[in-house]
Amino acid sequence: MGIEIKDKVALVTGGAQGIGLGIAKAFLDAEAKVAISDRNEETLRRTTDDLQGHFGDKVCGIVADVSVEEEVKKMVMETLRKFNAIDILVNNAGLGGMNYFWETPVQDWDTVININLRGAFLCAKEVTKFMLEKGTQGRIINIASVNSTLPTTGIAAYCASKGGLLMFTRAAALELGPRGINVNAIGPGSTITPLTEGFYNLPGLKEAFLDRTPKGRFGEPEDIAKVALFLASEYADWVTGQIIYVDGGQSLLGLPRYYEGLQQAAGTEQPY
């Protein structure tokens, strides 16, 4: 018997593609109702139309930028109007960027921190207020990264945001555990999505990553979705404040040097 979260309501940010879409599909297959949000309106519309063709009114799409407080509040209210509950929040929306930290424009640094860390805080804040009011035995799942604890070159802002997200996960779990809400994180390794496929498949860089991945392959969104489904289910009732690395063993060996590896693979000194 597979894991079920039948009739639970999940809100998945950054759900229009990649890991977020993989999680949304897994939840829908497990008979949950799912609101997906994304700030890319066109991609969100296509994805929502496709999912509704398979799952009908069990899924809806909401345009929102998670770094903007008013848009987050609107996103939560729209989810509640549609489904009258939120049992599971997946903070998946995120972005990267690449540069040495001393060459990173302050605006670019702020954008990464605001989406990856501030966004998770804002979404968790609004959803938690509802869960506490209704006495919901809820689940908050933050999509962190192997870079939460494992740095590499060229992505200092990303590493800082994901490291902060891990500590936020632990602090929130400490505060919400007595109130019946579990908070956990997933740390994906190198995962193939529409945004990363071209990067990871560059000659030389691909081999460098796979050489440091004991399982010998890149991850797929479905790999992350299976763990998210576990954390959302009753099987994880006694799991909180944890990060589960879903990385094919990459965290055992460390990552190659992103920035220098990219320059060598692409034959350019320009940032990715």
**CATH superfamily label, 9-197+220-253:** NAD(P)-binding Rossmann-like Domain (3.40.50.720)
Compute the distance between CA of residue 209 and CA of residue 219 in angstroms, rounded to an integer.
11
Query: Tokens for 153?
Result: 């070159």
Q: How far is CA 218 from CA 123, 148, 199, 227, in A?
A: 29, 18, 12, 16
* Total length of the chain: 272
Residue 44 dihedral angles phi and psi, to the nearest 5°: -60, -40
Catalytic residue among 100, 158, 235, 245: 158
Residue 4 has a pLDDT of 81
How far is C-alpha 127 from the geometric centre of its chain's CA atoms?
16
Q: Please tell me the distance from the alpha carbon of residue 251 to that of residue 109, in angstroms, as a whole number.
A: 25
| Model pTM above 0.85 | yes
Does residue 116 contact residue 162 with C-beta atoms inside 8 Å?
yes
Evaluate if residue 193 carries a pLDDT over 90.
yes
Q: Residues 219-239: pLDDT tens digits?
A: 999 999 999 999 999 999 999
Q: Would you tell me how many other CB atoms lie within 10 Å of the CB of residue 250?
A: 25
Residue 270 has pLDDT above 50, yes or no: no
Residue 272 bears catalytic tag? no
Write down the domain spans for the chain. Answer: 9-197+220-253
Angle at 7 between CA 174 and CA 243, to 5 degrees: 30
Render pLDDT for 86-113 as a digit per residue (tens, 0 to 9).
999 999 999 998 999 999 999 999 999 9
Is pLDDT larger for residue 258 or for residue 184?
184
Q: Which amino acid is at 194?
A: P
Between 77 and 202, the more confident residue is: 77
Percent above pLDDT 70 for the chain: 97
